Structures are given as structure tokens and as C-alpha cells.
Structure 1
Amino acid sequence: MLKKEARRIYKKKKEELSASEQLKGDDLLLIQFQTVDWPQVTNVLSFYPILEMKEINSFILTDYLHFRNPSLQFFYPRANFDSHTMHAIHCTADTSFEENKYGIFEPVQGEVIDPRELDMIIVPLLAFDMNGHRVGYGKGFYDRFLKECHEDCLIVGVSYFEPVEAIEDTGEFDVPLDLCITPQQVYVF
């Protein structure tokens, strides 16, 4: 399957999810997330879910990680749409988020961390394949950012849907996932 086709199909699948299906998917995904023997990590980059895009409620995942390790440091992306880059911003319970013109909530203030200091990144996606290749929204923000991270940084995808067999048009700049969690299963690559 080509990325363009996967984007079309999986955007439509997400649009068709009812609120109750989405809540059930989040609950089942959290159960799968809790089965993973997470390594000791200090700095975690997550994402602020875009409700209109029916993204997975990443807050239940970070809440679980924080429960297991209250000393974790959490970071959220702030994008520069002119350069198609993003930065990881340190966030606390007091951090304010503001919606940008693309409907993405970003931290208003906070210290930027060097990507090489991140231990784990939870990435949004539309689709993924059996080899850990992900299909995002098509702007390349995450792939550019992931290239800057330490090679031992754990890259975790989350999806309401099971993988496709293969994304046929992956390129040299695509960074594969280390694992992807769905409501039904944990895939390790």
C-alpha cells in the first residue's frame, strides 16, 4: 500500500469511529500499553491529541507512565511550520497550551530539550505496517525530528487499527517504530 492511499483510507476509518468506539479503543489500548515491560526512562516526548482528528487519548498513556515513575519528565512538540521542524518542550502540570492555526495544541512556554536526551517518544500516526514503518500526516515533522534522536531512543506508535502488510513507498528519511500498540496487540519491530 502506498502512503497516499493509506492516508486516505485511515483518515476515513478514523472519521467513522463513534465516540463510544474511540473510548473503548483508548481503554483497550491502555490495557495493551500496560503489558509492556517498559525500560527505565527519564525523558518522554508525547503528543497532544487532536480531538477533531480522533487521535488516541495520549494522556491516559502518559498518566500511566507517570504513575509508574513520578520522576519522569514529559515533553510536547512545538512546530515551526515555515521550516517543517519541531522542538521538544518540557512541560509540567502548570504548563499552558495554546491551539495553533492548524488546530494543534502546543506548549506556550518551557525549556527546549536536545532530541538526543529523549529516552522515549510516543508518536501519532495514521497507519503502520508489519515492518514498523509509519504513515503520518505527510509533512515529515516527526521523521526529521526522529533522525536527531539518540539511536537508543524508544519510538512507540499508537493506533486504533491493525497494521497493513507493507508500506511500499518508504524512503531513506522514514524512521521506523520500535513498537506499535493497538487495542488488540503490541507489535515489536
Structure 2
Amino acid sequence: MKKRKELQSEQLEALSEKIASNFFSLDLGNVRYLHIYYPIPGKHEIDSLFISERIRLHYKQIQLILPKSDLVSCTLKHIRWDDSTPLSMNAWGITEPLSGEEVPVGKIDLIVIPLLACDVDGNRLGYGKGFYDRFLSTCRPDALKVGLSYFEPLSTIIPHESHDVRLDACVTPEKVWNFTRPAQPEPDNDPNE
């Protein structure tokens, strides 16, 4: 957080633009529902609006989804986000939909994830409230989990537990880091069931 806060506003914008440019090297051909966050003012987050604006202009087949926080249960609802979606800032300063069509988690193909840092194994460090940990644990195994970071991944120093969901990729100003996805278990096709 300290390293991020040391960046000047011009640097933040330039780095966010580079990250957005690199983001579009990902294969979005099969993406129909893309979950993205709205940057929190004052937190020096990557400006994800560079990505969402380009999606709206050039990827008409992709529907954007914004999270809506339940600040009591620390869970997220997933609301379809278009030009008519009313937005408002919640008690934590997060811009989110006031209302709108809720999208089932199972429809989401790609999740753009805010983070403080990640490591070379795809483990991420968030803000500590567990909103995204809870959300990611309910996503389809094949849904792409993509972090955005101003900085390159660290060596394996991010603490993690067996239930933590790893990133599939992290987009930085320099490049897209692809992390090896663990093999999914074969479905049990027992004919006796």
C-alpha cells in the first residue's frame, strides 16, 4: 500500500492505461459476462474504467457486471452494469449499483480482481475483508480470475491457505503473467449411480 501511495496521479493514470492495454492481449472471444470492480477514490487502485470503457466500445458481446457489497455479511451480489444502471457510493466509499438485474455467479466467465499484491504462484493479497475470497470460491472452475497490479508479482511470500482461490493471470504495466492452472479432477462417471 505504501508503494502504491507513493505514485503520483500522472503515474497512476499512465500505469492504468498500460495495464488496460495489456489486458486486451487476453483472449476474450468466449467471454460473455465480465465481472469488474469500480476503482475506489483515494485507494490508488488501478483505474479499471479504462478496461470497462473499451469493452463497451469494442466488445458488444460482453456484458459487464459490477459487485454490490453486503457490508454485514462481507459478501457480494453481482449486478448487470450498463449505461442506465444507477450508481452510488456506499459507506466504505465504494461506487456500486443502487439496483439492477442480479446475474448468477455461474454465468460469469472472467473476473477482474483488485489486489494489493500477488506472487509468482498466483496467490493474491487483498484488503483483508474476504469479499473476493468468498465470491471466488463460488465461481465456476473455468471462470478466469485476473488480477490487476501496478507491480510485478513477488516471489512466494503471499500467505495462503488450501481454500484460497489462485489467480489465473495478473496484468501489470509490463506484461500479462499467466499462472499454471491446476488440472481439474475428471468427473466421476460411475455407471452405477
Alignment match, 2:5:
15
Q: Deviation digits for residues 121-151 of structure 1, max 9, x if unmatched? A: 1010000000011100001110100111111
Q: Please state whether the residue corresponding to 2:163 is helix, strand or coil.
A: coil
Q: Please state whether the residue corresponding to 2:153 is helix, strand or coil.
A: coil
Code of the aligned partner of 1:87? K
Alignment match, 2:142:
152
Pairwise CA distance, 1:27: 1.8
Q: Percent identity?
A: 37
Alignment match, 2:60:
70
Code of the aligned partner of 1:79? S
Q: Within 5 A, what are the aligned runs for 1:56-67?
A: 56-67=46-57
Higher relative contact order (CA 8 A, sep 6+): 1
Measured in 2, the distance between the counterparts of 1:43 and 1:120 equals: 7
Whether the 8 Å contact between 2:20 and 2:48 is mirrored in structure 1 is: no
Measured in 2, the distance between the counterparts of 1:65 and 1:168 equals: 31
Q: Which moved more, 1:108-117 or 1:33-42?
A: 33-42
Code of the aligned partner of 1:46? I
Q: Deviation digits for residues 137-168 of structure 1, max 9, x if unmatched? A: 00111010011111110111001111110135
- Kindly tell me: are residues 105 and 118 of structure 1, through their superposed partners in 2, closer, same or farther at Cα, counting changes over 3 Å? same
Whether the 8 Å contact between 1:144 and 1:173 is mirrored in structure 2 is: no
Q: Please state whether the residue corresponding to 1:157 is helix, strand or coil.
A: strand
Q: Please state whether the residue corresponding to 1:51 is helix, strand or coil.
A: coil
Measured in 2, the distance between the counterparts of 1:40 and 1:114 equals: 18
Alignment match, 2:44:
54
Measured in 1, the distance between the counterparts of 2:53 and 2:74 equals: 29
Code of the aligned partner of 2:101? E
RMSD: 1.2
Q: Please state whether the residue corresponding to 1:76 is helix, strand or coil.
A: strand
Measured in 1, the distance between the counterparts of 2:97 and 2:28 equals: 26
Greater Rg over alpha carbons, structure: 2
Measured in 2, the distance between the counterparts of 1:108 and 1:51 equals: 18
Q: Within 5 A, what are the aligned runs for 1:1-189?
A: 11-189=1-179
What are structure 1's unaligned runs of at least 5 residues? 1-10
Q: Report how many aligned residue pairs link the two structures.
A: 179
State the TM-score, normalized to the length of structure 2: 0.88
Whether the 8 Å contact between 2:124 and 2:158 is mirrored in structure 1 is: no
Q: Which moved more, 1:33-42 or 1:138-147?
A: 33-42
Q: Please state whether the residue corresponding to 1:145 is helix, strand or coil.
A: helix
Measured in 2, the distance between the counterparts of 1:81 and 1:172 equals: 25
Measured in 2, the distance between the counterparts of 1:45 and 1:64 equals: 14
